[in-house]
Structure 1
Amino acid sequence: MSEQLKHWLKSSDSPFAKSLFQFAKAIRNPQIWVIPGVHSLLFKLHLLISTTVSEMARIFYYTPLFKSQIKGTKANLYLYSGMPQILGKLEISCKDNTRISGITTFCGRSQGEYTPKLIIGSNVDIGWQNAFSVGRNIILEDDVRLAGRVFLAGFPGHPLNSQRRAKGEPDDECQVGDIIIKQGAWIGTGATVLAGVTIGEGAIVAASAVVTKDVPANTIVAGNPAKVVKQLKDSL
């Protein structure tokens, strides 16, 4: 009955139905006047409280918890937006002055007798909603920058054969590889780097690029699959 009434209100040409529909929309989404000065003050108070609570959680909760799960000097580690998710079998080490978004997932491959390793250098930025699938090793050297939604795919998680995938079997060793991002490289928003790839020193990977092979130092690559589109001067 209610669905029929809703359909009638939305589709009827009757002025009464149209008026009733507008009234129903108004009472479902009530509004109040913005009071000059009062609501702007409340907004500033809200920001002050939320920022203070967020900073206290970062300093006294998220950062020490995350540090307890990783190795390395990890001095001046700066987490923001919570704490990264750690999945699977994974060893993480981190040097100093690194910034990591809490909306990030670090996943280690569970198959194999070895322990996958994520090695993070100094002065590294790991942006919002990054996902690392560490097959054997992922190495981020000093001064590396990763923008948002970067995917480092060190292992696929599934075999190539469809029948084996349907049975839930894991990937094969031949599908697994290291990912090495050399000093000063910058990975753009939404880029994907596949297993076995090395990004050269000072290189730039454009947004949404899919990197399937090694990237030379001091170049810009773009596209799917990514190709060199510009050579950078060493001085830059």
Structure 2
Amino acid sequence: MLVKMVYWVKNSESDFGCFCRKWLKKIINPQVPVIPFLHHALFSLHILLVNLIADFLRIMYFTPLFKSQIKGSKSNLYLYSGMPLLLGNLEITLGKDVRMSGITTFCGRACSTTKNQLIIGDNVDIGWQNSISVGTKVIIENDVRLAGKVFLAGYPGHPIDSVDRAAGKPDLDEQVGDIVIKQGAWLGTGVTVLAGVTIGCGTIIGAGSVVTKDIPDNCIAAGNPARVVKSIK
């Protein structure tokens, strides 16, 4: 009965149906008038409280919790928006003065017989929603900048053969490779870097690019697959 009434109110073209629909919208979604001084002050208070709580959690909870799971200097780590998700067989070494989004995933290849190595240098930015999958080793050297939604794919997670995939078998060793992002490189938003790739010093990779082979030093590369489009020096 109730379902039929709701359907009638939503679809009736009669005058009474339109009247009911109009007033039900006002009842369901009432609007409180804005009082400029009051609501401006409440907004400022809200932002202050949110930032205070976020800073407290960052300093007292998320940062020491994350540091307990990694090696290296890890001094002056600035971790924001929570704590990265750590998965698989992985050892992380972190340099100093790193800024890192907590909305990041670090994953090591589960079927490796030894610890996969993620080595992050000094003064590195790791942006929002980055995903770093370490098949053997991923090295991010000093002064590297990773924008949002960067994916370093050191292993695929599935074998090439469809029968093996259906059987739930892991990827093969020949599908796995190291990734090296050399000093001062900058990867734009949405860049994907595949296994076995080295990106040169000071190089910029354009947003949305897929890097399938090595890129030399001091250039701009873009596209799918990424190609050098300009030399910087």
Shorter chain as normaliser: what TM range? over 0.9
Per-residue deviation at 1:137? 0.5
For residues 12-42 of structure 1, give each alpha carbon's deviation from its aligned partner in whole angstroms, at most 9, with x where no partner exists. 2212111211211211112211112111111
Q: Which residue of 2 aligns with 1:183?
A: 183
1:130 counterpart = 2:130: yes
User: Do the aligned residues in 1 keep the contact of 2:184 with 2:202 (CA within 8 Å)?
Assistant: yes
Q: Which residue of 2 aligns with 1:86?
A: 86
CA distance in 2, matches of 1:25, 1:215: 57
Single out whichever of 16-25 and 91-100 deviates more from structure 2: 16-25
Where does the alignment leave 5 or more consecutive residues of structure 1 unmatched? none
How many matched pairs? 233
Q: Which residue of 1 aligns with 2:157?
A: 157
CA distance in 1, matches of 2:202, 2:84: 26
CA distance in 2, matches of 1:152, 1:22: 52
3-state SS, counterpart of residue 37 of structure 1: helix
CA distance in 2, matches of 1:6, 1:219: 61
Matches within 5 A, 1:43-58: 43-58=43-58
CA distance in 1, matches of 2:59, 2:112: 36
3-state SS, counterpart of residue 230 of structure 1: strand
Identity %: 60
Q: Which residue of 1 aligns with 2:41?
A: 41
Matches within 5 A, 1:186-225: 186-225=186-225
Kindly provide the amino acid, as one letter, of the partner of residue 190 in structure 1. G
Kindly provide the amino acid, as one letter, of the partner of residue 184 in structure 2. G
Per-residue deviation at 1:222? 1.0
Per-residue deviation at 1:215? 0.7
CA distance in 1, matches of 2:152, 2:3: 47
1:69 counterpart = 2:57: no
RMSD of aligned residue pairs (Cα, Å): 1.0
Per-residue deviation at 1:227? 1.0
Per-residue deviation at 1:152? 0.4
Runs of 4+ in 1 over 6 A off after TM superposition: none
CA distance in 2, matches of 1:75, 1:97: 6
For residues 76-121 of structure 1, give each alpha carbon's deviation from its aligned partner in whole angstroms, at most 9, with x where no partner exists. 0100001111001100001110000000000000112121000000
For residues 107-154 of structure 1, give each alpha carbon's deviation from its aligned partner in whole angstroms, at most 9, with x where no partner exists. 000112121000000000000000010000000000000000000000
Q: Which residue of 1 aligns with 2:4?
A: 4
CA distance in 2, matches of 1:195, 1:102: 24
For residues 137-176 of structure 1, give each alpha carbon's deviation from its aligned partner in whole angstroms, at most 9, with x where no partner exists. 0000000000000000000110011111111110000000
Kindly provide the amino acid, as one letter, of the partner of residue 75 in structure 1. S
CA distance in 2, matches of 1:9, 1:220: 58
CA distance in 2, matches of 1:182, 1:2: 64
Per-residue deviation at 1:10? 2.8
Where does the alignment leave 5 or more consecutive residues of structure 2 unmatched? none
1:14 counterpart = 2:21: no
CA distance in 2, matches of 1:223, 1:6: 51
